[in-house]
Chains A and B, each alone.
Chain A
């Protein structure tokens, strides 16, 4: 009995991590139509960046952000001689953000080391990678087929994962838990880290829900995903909506990465599988409705830990195979062919 309770709690904990990822997936998909294969890599960046900072190293993420920002600016740099004003206007926000990133890393390493500061810095760094990747991979071709955008995200996944492998190496890095210890309840030990994960995931969900339902900015993001033209006519710049959603998605995923890092020694391979499992969970909600997506990831998490216990080799196979029955069930009512319009 205790075993099952333990597995259930373990499953809910990993379900909560999947939830953060699933929320990011839904967020990015609704605002940009990109079904982001690379979403899990932000989680990996979160875990690895935190590990570097806690070890007292300059995180390679800083280099990625600075180099990426420079690449984004490349067209403006090329136009430097013809219209210096355009360059200054474009470069200013980049310079400010670069200064912010550098300052935060400096403070974390030399002034105010510690878990909380490291997490804050990690969050900022990884969040910045989101819009950079959006600017470089999606924005040049906003009108592309959804299928093309998916394959682009495959390319992004290969690049980010490959760079991480080069920069951090393949060895796993242990990360100390933000809060040690735990409580014993009903004969089962629950670590504070697991509690923190559940609380943070819950808060993030509520926050995102409120953002989309209650704020104008959230509604604008949703509008931009339904019809780019329509949103444009209402004064919503789809490029801005895309950049914001990529930033939010990256931040949420990084949060998941930082929370999960102490439970599974951080390594560059953790992102992809978690991303894909989050997707399987999110398909419950058809990738658009938050409460159902959350129920889905909770189920996937529990199933995940039970199958890890009962048939460890097939663990991933069982979870991934779920995708077919879920999709058949979710799309039970096949759409009619609309006429002309």
Chain B
């Protein structure tokens, strides 16, 4: 059914290419090139970035390929790749800016950078021919036929362009579903989450910029060879904004949005020019106003575009193989209980400016046990938790994991056997429950961008989903695997968080207030889950306010107060320690 929709779309486009008058076929060529450039923009937006000057990369690709083929003698097919490469190189600096800059100013920087590239194309007259450009760009040749508009081969050219659009759409859709695609979508919503599960956001952003610019450059090169003529005019600001409209109109949820958007924009343009030609000649160019209004209204009223209107009517993607949930979770239990701690803090101190959050904190987490960490608000629990999970560094003191110093950047910590949950649930919106859990297994895979694009990651992907399904079974949410995560109530979302951490197969599980907001029944289930995980060999650190749950679950209890360890020992003993009662539970209550 889902396939049926895509086939129908392809058939309509094929029919137009095969049967429509030549003028309309040449319009489909341009729409296809827009769609190709816009698919890259969708990938970028899925990563939470945007490029407001994207047409500059289309232009750069066009000029690079045209110059290399016309003056250097490169074959046009290699020219396409060269165009993509040059555009990718030009976008690289933006990737580096994106690492350092979050959110607000980056869009303007992309706009300024795009303008700079465009102005350079116009100004570098000796190389680019200046504002009037140049012609005699060699066309692409297929089986001895020139696919240039000049040779009257519109249909062949359109077929080639749309074949490439199909290829790009399918492989980008693959990519977004894959290991790397999950990482891409994760950094858009929760960068801290991505980092905790082994994703280096810097790398993902650079790849997103480079990939989207490469697609734009490829589309530009294609444009140059079919038109056999290049000039700067089609790559200016207006073109960049048109690409944005294409993407917003079609929808950013799926690469096919670029196709839907490009077709709709082309049809709207055609309508404006034919039906309202009288109006336009009387009052002037209304297209920018119309498209500007469209953009504003779309973003305010239908931010998901056409795709989000269509998608609910399409059945969900059928999974390729049914996943057999296994009951095993975590690492297999080791034979003997080791005496050495899994995680150890030694004289850890943390200062934020003048504020001393932690002072000489030493604690040991023993294997296959549950350690509770409690303390009143402001005691330093969260700081200690962040230091244990490698998200922040102690001002002084050591954190030892399996006897070795916890090292590397925050996203390398998970590889040392530490997985965490978040107090404020961080699930990636728009992903299914299973996909969210599969993020946990990210660091265990190694499928790269290329593999994910062309489908070389099948075996690994199956194993990843298998692990995710096993982790889901562990928390008892197998039936909810394919639901969107946002449809679950908070209690179950917390379980998904735990499943995601389990899918990372950690030696040590760090739970940050997992019971906050849970009802009594859910808390009982959580306590049972913790016992089961421990019996299967998992070590757990539990930061929690609910003293009953803590007492029911933990083997040892550490109490923090004003940044110092107040008590550390067997749970019951600590619970009855008068200092703890005084500082935390409150005198007279116990």
Are A and B associated in one complex?
A: yes
Query: Which A residues are within 8 Å of any B CB, using their own CB?
Result: 29, 33, 35, 37, 136-137, 140-141, 144, 146-148, 150-152, 154-163, 165-166, 169, 272, 276, 279-280, 283, 286-287, 311, 313-318, 320-321, 323-324, 327-328, 331-332, 334-341
Known: A162-B288, A327-B109. A338 touches B192 (CB 8 A): yes
- 27 A-B pairs with CB atoms under 8 Å apart are A35-B104, A35-B108, A136-B296, A151-B50, A152-B296, A152-B299, A159-B288, A159-B292, A165-B284, A165-B285, A169-B284, A272-B237, A276-B112, A283-B109, A287-B104, A313-B119, A313-B125, A314-B120, A314-B123, A316-B115, A324-B94, A328-B100, A331-B97, A334-B100, A339-B389, A340-B382, A340-B422
CB distance from A63 to the nearest CB of B (A): 13
Of chain A, the residue at the smallest CB distance from B294 is A155
Within 8 A of A (CB), among B103-122: 103-105, 107-109, 111-113, 115-117, 119-120, 122
Within 8 A of A (CB), among B43-60: 45, 48-50, 52
Known: A324-B93, A328-B96. A35 touches B119 (CB 8 A): no
Within 8 A of A (CB), among B78-115: 93-94, 96-97, 99-105, 107-109, 111-113, 115
Known: A37-B111, A280-B112. A156 touches B286 (CB 8 A): no
In the complex, which of the residues B116, B248, B410 has the most CB atoms of chain A within 10 Å of its own CB atom? B116
Q: Decide if B423 touches A340 in the complex (CB within 8 Å).
A: yes
Rounded to whole angstroms, the CA-CA distance of A212 and B206 in the bound complex is: 37
Within 8 A of A (CB), among B468-484: none
Q: Decide if A337 touches B299 in the complex (CB within 8 Å).
A: no
Rounded to whole angstroms, the CA-CA distance of A138 and B386 in the bound complex is: 37
Chain B residues with CB below 8 A from A150, complex form:
50, 52, 104, 107-108
Rounded to whole angstroms, the CA-CA distance of A315 and B102 in the bound complex is: 28
Interface of A is mostly: helix
Q: Decide if B295 touches A158 in the complex (CB within 8 Å).
A: yes
CB distance from A158 to the nearest CB of B (A): 3
Within 8 A of A (CB), among B4-43: none
Q: Decide if B112 touches A154 in the complex (CB within 8 Å).
A: no
Rounded to whole angstroms, the CA-CA distance of A155 and B293 in the bound complex is: 6
Within 8 A of A (CB), among B393-446: 410, 422-424
Q: Does B244 contact A (CB under 8 A)?
A: yes
Rounded to whole angstroms, the CA-CA distance of A140 and B299 in the bound complex is: 10
Chain A residues with CB below 8 A from B45, complex form:
147
Rounded to whole angstroms, the CA-CA distance of A37 and B111 in the bound complex is: 9
Chain A residues with CB below 8 A from B285, complex form:
162, 165-166
CB distance from A328 to the nearest CB of B (A): 6
Contact with A along B331-358 (1 / 0, CB 8 A): 0000000000000000000000000000
Query: Which B residues are within 8 Å of any A CB, using their own CB?
Result: 45, 48-50, 52, 93-94, 96-97, 99-105, 107-109, 111-113, 115-117, 119-120, 122-125, 191-192, 195, 237, 241, 244, 248, 283-289, 291-296, 299-300, 303, 382, 385-386, 389, 391-392, 410, 422-424, 512
CB distance from B283 to the nearest CB of A (A): 6
Q: Decide if A148 touches B303 in the complex (CB within 8 Å).
A: yes
Q: Decide if A158 touches B291 in the complex (CB within 8 Å).
A: yes
Chain B residues with CB below 8 A from A152, complex form:
295-296, 299-300
Chain A residues with CB below 8 A from B105, complex form:
35, 283, 286-287, 327
Q: 9 closest pairs, A vs B, by CB? A: A158-B292, A313-B123, A155-B295, A162-B288, A162-B289, A320-B116, A159-B292, A155-B296, A331-B100
Rounded to whole angstroms, the CA-CA distance of A332 and B113 in the bound complex is: 19
Chain A residues with CB below 8 A from B108, complex form:
35, 37, 150, 276, 279, 283, 323
Chain B residues with CB below 8 A from A148, complex form:
299, 303
Rounded to whole angstroms, the CA-CA distance of A317 and B115 in the bound complex is: 7
Q: Decide if B241 touches A154 in the complex (CB within 8 Å).
A: yes
In the complex, which of the residues B48, B52, B112, B424 has the most CB atoms of chain A within 10 Å of its own CB atom? B112
Rounded to whole angstroms, the CA-CA distance of A287 and B104 in the bound complex is: 10
CB distance from A265 to the nearest CB of B (A): 20
Known: A37-B52, A317-B120, A340-B512. A331 touches B289 (CB 8 A): no
Rounded to whole angstroms, the CA-CA distance of A315 and B96 in the bound complex is: 24
Chain B residues with CB below 8 A from A337, complex form:
191-192, 195, 391, 410
Rounded to whole angstroms, the CA-CA distance of A341 and B385 in the bound complex is: 12
Chain A residues with CB below 8 A from B293, complex form:
155, 159
Q: Decide if B283 touches A33 in the complex (CB within 8 Å).
A: no
Q: Decide if A331 touches B101 in the complex (CB within 8 Å).
A: yes
Q: Decide if B107 touches A166 in the complex (CB within 8 Å).
A: no
Q: Decide if A158 touches B289 in the complex (CB within 8 Å).
A: yes
CB distance from B59 to the nearest CB of A (A): 13
Chain A residues with CB below 8 A from B410, complex form:
337
Of chain B, the residue at the smallest CB distance from A38 is B292
Q: Decide if A313 touches B382 in the complex (CB within 8 Å).
A: no
Q: Decide if A147 touches B103 in the complex (CB within 8 Å).
A: yes
Rounded to whole angstroms, the CA-CA distance of A340 and B293 in the bound complex is: 39
Q: Which of A147, A166, A340 is B192 in contact with, Cβ under 8 Å?
A: A340
CB distance from A181 to the nearest CB of B (A): 35
CB distance from B106 to the nearest CB of A (A): 8
Q: Decide if B101 touches A166 in the complex (CB within 8 Å).
A: no
Q: Decide if A321 touches B300 in the complex (CB within 8 Å).
A: no
Chain A residues with CB below 8 A from B99, complex form:
334
Q: Decide if A151 touches B424 in the complex (CB within 8 Å).
A: no
Chain B residues with CB below 8 A from A316, complex form:
115-116, 119
Q: Decide if B102 touches A335 in the complex (CB within 8 Å).
A: yes
Q: Decide if A158 touches B113 in the complex (CB within 8 Å).
A: no
Of chain B, the residue at the smallest CB distance from A152 is B299
Rounded to whole angstroms, the CA-CA distance of A323 and B103 in the bound complex is: 16
Q: Which of A137, A158, A317 is B241 in contact with, Cβ under 8 Å?
A: A158
Rounded to whole angstroms, the CA-CA distance of A315 and B123 in the bound complex is: 9
Rounded to whole angstroms, the CA-CA distance of A318 and B116 in the bound complex is: 7
Q: Decide if B296 touches A166 in the complex (CB within 8 Å).
A: no
Rounded to whole angstroms, the CA-CA distance of A280 and B110 in the bound complex is: 11
CB distance from B413 to the nearest CB of A (A): 11
Chain A residues with CB below 8 A from B52, complex form:
37, 150-151, 154
Rounded to whole angstroms, the CA-CA distance of A337 and B52 in the bound complex is: 27
Q: Decide if A146 touches B103 in the complex (CB within 8 Å).
A: yes
Chain B residues with CB below 8 A from A341, complex form:
382, 423-424
Q: Decide if B119 touches A324 in the complex (CB within 8 Å).
A: no
Chain A residues with CB below 8 A from B111, complex form:
37, 276
Rounded to whole angstroms, the CA-CA distance of A169 and B284 in the bound complex is: 8
Of chain A, the residue at the smallest CB distance from B192 is A337
Rounded to whole angstroms, the CA-CA distance of A169 and B285 in the bound complex is: 10
Rounded to whole angstroms, the CA-CA distance of A304 and B368 in the bound complex is: 67
Rounded to whole angstroms, the CA-CA distance of A341 and B97 in the bound complex is: 25
CB distance from A280 to the nearest CB of B (A): 6
Chain B residues with CB below 8 A from A323, complex form:
108-109, 112-113, 116
Rounded to whole angstroms, the CA-CA distance of A272 and B236 in the bound complex is: 13
Chain A residues with CB below 8 A from B241, complex form:
154, 158
Q: Which of A156, A159, A279 is B112 in contact with, Cβ under 8 Å?
A: A279
Of chain B, the residue at the smallest CB distance from A336 is B392
Q: Decide if A339 touches B299 in the complex (CB within 8 Å).
A: no
Q: Decide if A140 touches B300 in the complex (CB within 8 Å).
A: yes
CB distance from A313 to the nearest CB of B (A): 3
Of chain B, the residue at the smallest CB distance from A168 is B284
CB distance from B298 to the nearest CB of A (A): 8
Chain B residues with CB below 8 A from A314, complex form:
119-120, 123
Rounded to whole angstroms, the CA-CA distance of A136 and B301 in the bound complex is: 12
Rounded to whole angstroms, the CA-CA distance of A339 and B104 in the bound complex is: 21
CB distance from B147 to the nearest CB of A (A): 33
Q: Decide if B100 touches A317 in the complex (CB within 8 Å).
A: no
CB distance from A86 to the nearest CB of B (A): 23
Q: Decide if B107 touches A35 in the complex (CB within 8 Å).
A: yes
Of chain B, the residue at the smallest CB distance from A280 is B112
Q: Decide if B125 touches A159 in the complex (CB within 8 Å).
A: no
Q: Decide if A317 touches B291 in the complex (CB within 8 Å).
A: no
Chain B residues with CB below 8 A from A334, complex form:
99-100
CB distance from A99 to the nearest CB of B (A): 28
Rounded to whole angstroms, the CA-CA distance of A255 and B123 in the bound complex is: 32
Known: A337-B191, A340-B423. A166 touches B244 (CB 8 A): no
Q: Decide if B122 touches A156 in the complex (CB within 8 Å).
A: no
Of chain A, the residue at the smallest CB distance from B287 is A162
